[in-house]
Amino acid sequence: MRAAFVTLALALAVAARPSPLNRFSARQDNVALQNGKDAIALNDKFKTLTADSPCQAGDQACINGGFAQCVNGKFVVQQCAGGTTCAALPLVNSAGTTIACTTQADIDQRIAATGATDAGAAAGGNAGADNNTGNNNAGTGNAAGGAGANNAGAGGAAGADDSDPQKSLTLDPKVIADFANDGQDVPEAGQVPSLTSTNNFINFCLTRPDLPLTNGQQIRTGGSCNPAPIGLIPDVSQMPSSKFVNPVNQQQIPADTSFTITMAINNLETGFFVNANEKYFAAPQQLNAQGLIQGHSHVVVEQVTSFNQTTPNDPTKFAFFKGLNAKAANGVLSATVDKGLPAGFYKLSSINAAANHQPVIVPVAQHASLDDTVYFEVTA
């Protein structure tokens, strides 16, 4: 019986899915009325579902007021923010419905505006419940976006502005890439198949409901999932690189004495950095008008046992770290180690990054190092 409910709900959703070519077509009363009826029917069927209802990959629904997507044959439910609930909503400018988290009043108003009846019974669920936790809010934002995308048409989720593609919750067909091939058509020894997607991996983070969204935070324990796209990638002739000017390799520096690290930088428009505590990895890489990555660099000093050390270091331990956030002066960045360092051997490395602190991304797999490393000795 439950399988029949799921089938009917999904059949309605598929039937209501509009053609992208009609996305901005003029609203017609009979289309609006049908959209309202379809939304009511979907919401009635959603009330019969549970997280254990059978489903197939890509199926979406509302379960107990939360947005649900089928992952590995089972519904994964992401609760909506406090004061909102998940519901099917009628599209405004073309035939179809979408699924979103919004208030009960908004659900009633949208369905009533179509002329369809029984608007008050649209959603059910727990519109008044307070599910306002960090993970649930993060998951809901991702889920609602996915719902709008898979019903790619018009209207999008509640509050979305489909006239502006940078605010719309609908995936524009013009930017769907060909990620459906796993790359194994030209096999190579040891090569593994790539993950595949027909919707730009927009809901990829739903495959790991146990992890929070990165959401601009530096999440130190347990891991996270970042939904932000990689962004703009430069021409192969404009890949950034750096070279330390001071200290040079195997240079000796007096212990506990201030010294300045200087580094030449090429093909990076420096001086671009965002709030690392709130916007870490939270936006795509950007290029300037000349095609250069907009970003900044960092320098990090790690102690080693000797110039001949062969064991990897622990990345959580370092003797000095500095973000080089200022614009380069005549192509050179600098950082002063005010108190110097105790006697020993050290490794100095650069970390070139885009504005949101992600490592710079370049267009080819085979390239020289984008960063520099030197080793120096601090003597007593």
8-12, 52-56, 160-164, 258-262: least confidently modelled range: 8-12
Phi and psi angles of residue 295, each rounded to the nearest 5 degrees, phi first: -170, -150
Q: Which of 137, 158, 174 is the last residue of a domain?
A: 174
What whole-number percentage of the chain has pLDDT above 90?
58
Mean pLDDT of 13-20: 44
Q: Is residue 69 a part of any domain in this protein? A: yes
The string of pLDDT tens digits covering residues 118-152 is 744 434 333 333 333 333 333 333 333 333 333 33
pLDDT, mean over the chain: 83
Return the SS3 of 346.
Answer: strand
From the number of C-beta atoms within 10 Å of its C-beta (0-12, 13-18, 19+), residue 57 rates as: exposed
**Contacts for 275 with CB less than 8 Å, ≥ 6 apart:** none
pLDDT of residue 138: 31
Q: Which of 144, 174, 204 is the last residue of a domain?
A: 174
pLDDT of residue 359: 98
Co-location of 256 and 152 in the same domain = no
15-24, 272-281, 342-351: least confidently modelled range: 15-24
pLDDT of residue 350: 98
Q: Is residue 72 a part of any domain in this protein? A: yes
pLDDT at 46 over 70: yes
Mean pLDDT of 366-374: 98
Co-location of 167 and 248 in the same domain = no
Give the domain CATH number at 266.
Answer: 2.60.40.10
HSE (side-chain half, CA atoms, 13 Å) at 307: 9
* Rounded Cα gap, residues 219 and 228, in angstroms: 15
Q: Is residue 230 a part of any domain in this protein? A: no
* Rounded Cα gap, residues 332 and 160, in angstroms: 44
pLDDT at 49 over 70: yes
The string of pLDDT tens digits covering residues 273-329 is 999 999 999 999 999 999 999 999 999 999 999 999 999 999 999 999 999 999 999
CA-to-CA dists, residue 340 to 32, 217, 377, 380, angstroms:
71, 31, 12, 12
Co-location of 17 and 127 in the same domain = yes
**DSSP, res 310:** -
Mean pLDDT of 6-28: 43
Co-location of 169 and 243 in the same domain = no
Q: Is residue 224 a part of any domain in this protein? A: no
Q: Which two tokens stand for residue 138?
A: 């993060």
- CA triplet 281, 287, 290: central angle to 5 degrees? 165
pLDDT of residue 191: 92
**Contacts for 324 with CB less than 8 Å, ≥ 6 apart:** 263, 270, 296, 297, 298, 299, 333, 334, 335
Residues 281, 216 contacting (CB under 8 angstroms): yes
Co-location of 48 and 162 in the same domain = yes
Mean pLDDT of 61-67: 91
| SS3 of 216-267 | ECCCCCCCCECCCCCECCCCHHHCCEEEEEECCCCEEEECCCCEEEEEEEEC
Co-location of 267 and 162 in the same domain = no
**Contacts for 99 with CB less than 8 Å, ≥ 6 apart:** 60, 61, 62, 67, 86, 87, 88, 89, 144, 147, 148, 151, 157
pLDDT of residue 24: 37
Co-location of 21 and 97 in the same domain = yes
Q: Is residue 207 a part of any domain in this protein? A: no
Mean pLDDT of 92-107: 84
Co-location of 167 and 244 in the same domain = no
Q: Is residue 371 a part of any domain in this protein? A: yes
What whole-number percentage of the chain has pLDDT above 70?
81
pLDDT of residue 245: 98
* Rounded Cα gap, residues 223 and 267, in angstroms: 32
pLDDT of residue 160: 52
Domain that holds residue 9: 2-174
Q: Which two tokens stand for residue 136?
A: 């649930």
How many domains, the chain?
A: 2
| Cβ count near 307 (within 10 Å) | 13
The string of pLDDT tens digits covering residues 266-278 is 999 999 999 999 9
Q: Is residue 248 a part of any domain in this protein? A: yes
Q: Which of 174, 192, 227 is the last residue of a domain?
A: 174
Mean pLDDT of 156-172: 69
Burial readout 289-306 (b: 16 or more C-beta within 10 A, e: otherwise): eeebbbbbbbbbbbbeee
Return the SS3 of 3.
Answer: helix
55-64, 70-79, 270-279: least confidently modelled range: 70-79
pLDDT at 153 over 80: no
Co-location of 276 and 136 in the same domain = no
**DSSP, res 197:** B
Which of 345, 335, 348, 338 is closest to 380 using CA atoms? 345
DSSP strand pairing (268-269 vs 293-304): parallel
3-state helix, strand, coil split of the chain in percent (to 5) is: 20, 25, 55
Q: Is residue 182 a part of any domain in this protein? A: no
Co-location of 29 and 121 in the same domain = yes
Co-location of 143 and 10 in the same domain = yes
The string of pLDDT tens digits covering residues 21-38 is 344 344 467 888 998 999
pLDDT of residue 351: 98
Mean pLDDT of 189-204: 91
E strand or H helix that includes residue 378: strand 373-379
pLDDT at 81 over 60: yes
pLDDT of residue 265: 98
